[in-house]
Amino acid sequence: MGDYPIEELGHKTPLEVAKTPNLDKLASMGKCGKLVTIPEGADPESALANMSILGYDISNFQGRGVLEAAAMGINVDERDIAFRCNTICVENDTIKNHSGGHISSEESHELIEAVAKELGNEEIRFFPGVSYRHILILKHKYSPDLICTPPHDVPGTPFKDVLVKAKDISGEKTAELLNTLIIQSRSVLENHPVNIRRVNAGKNAANMIWPWAPGRKPVMKTFQEKFGIKGAVISAVDLIRGLGIYAGFNVIDVDGATGLYDTNYEGKAEECLKALETYDLVYVHIEAPDEASHQGDLNLKIKCIEDFDKRVVGRILKKLKDNIKLTVLTDHYNPISVRTHTCEPVPFLIYDKNEEPDDIKTFTEDSCSRGSFGQLTGEEFIKVFLNDQIK
């Protein structure tokens, strides 16, 4: 949700313009602040941001691909390298979008299976995921020492300018292989029947693969080992679900959860309330405002914020029990003007009926900066939120 002031909104942010009576009510009943989710010098990656929120040390983290693989039930051993592998849209040798026009899972599965048949082998393995989000596993002899550009960071960029680069000599062989796969995938996908049908229907083609976010299997304590807290996670995004798995959370499926503006907001709220009867903590993740930002769609972003406020926050507030503590925050900024993640400290609120509220009355980037929590970093936030629950 986090954004910059926008001229056409009267120099306000989407969060300031959106109608958010439930978030504002929580802000007025609770305490607010800002949280550094992306440490200085780190990439503003969703995996890092969410790990920070949960109090994990991100210094040894390599890439999100391995987290998404866990969510998909893919076995990754200690020597494998896992990558997120998008099916992207390229026009005139330029990256048009990172999602093949938000291609359906059924269509995208056909495409990634065609790539696997033509380019895969025992060492190079492709696994279909949700929509454009797939997984590539390189077995055993390859290196994660690579510079891989997230495709959502570079719409409008010639793809050859952002091909994979090796960080050092150890990554050269792997970079060469990945770039070969990228180039060759275009000949596999360009005239595939799925893409021919999409183009004829006026849709974007998903005509190239794009591997990124390489990493090996992480070694991390579960949330229960760290804090004595039994948790669950609700998200349509494999990255968050995979992080939950490594954190020892139970993953709760919600019918109709898509990670887009058409997600089942009400279903996520209801499953959260139900899960709170069993678990100490429920981590609910809503992706829709982030995807709207990547698309550069201001009106859609405002709608997604309002839907989140009414259909998730409002629904939960109506049924919230007295003994429940609640926090709302963004994991990172994704300003409409740049259409990608940035590193600013994010706004948060914490509501606890046993705590006196501060004087903040609205939930916005600016108002939360004046909240009584000030600015927190790293593990400070989760410890503040859990306080006397920590064992």
**All domains of the chain in start order, with CATH:** 7-61+219-389 (3.40.720.10), 75-215 (no CATH)
pLDDT for position 391: 45
pLDDT of residue 389: 58
> Are 387 and 373 within 8 A, CB to CB?
no
User: pLDDT for 300-349, tens place per residue?
Assistant: 999 999 999 999 999 999 998 888 999 999 999 999 999 989 999 999 99
Distance between CA atoms of residues 165 and 349, nearest Å? 40
Please report which residue ranges of the chain form alpha helices under DSSP H. 14-17, 21-29, 46-53, 65-71, 105-119, 172-189, 193-200, 223-227, 238-246, 265-275, 288-295, 298-307, 314-319, 365-368, 380-386
CA atoms within 13 A on the CB side of 42: 24
Q: What is residue 41's predicted lDDT score, i.e. its pLDDT?
A: 84
Q: What are the per-10-residue average pLDDT scores of the chain (391 residues)?
A: 96 98 97 94 88 88 86 90 96 96 94 97 94 93 92 94 96 97 97 97 97 90 94 93 94 90 94 96 95 94 97 94 92 94 96 94 98 93 82 45
Mean pLDDT of all residues belonging to the chain: 94
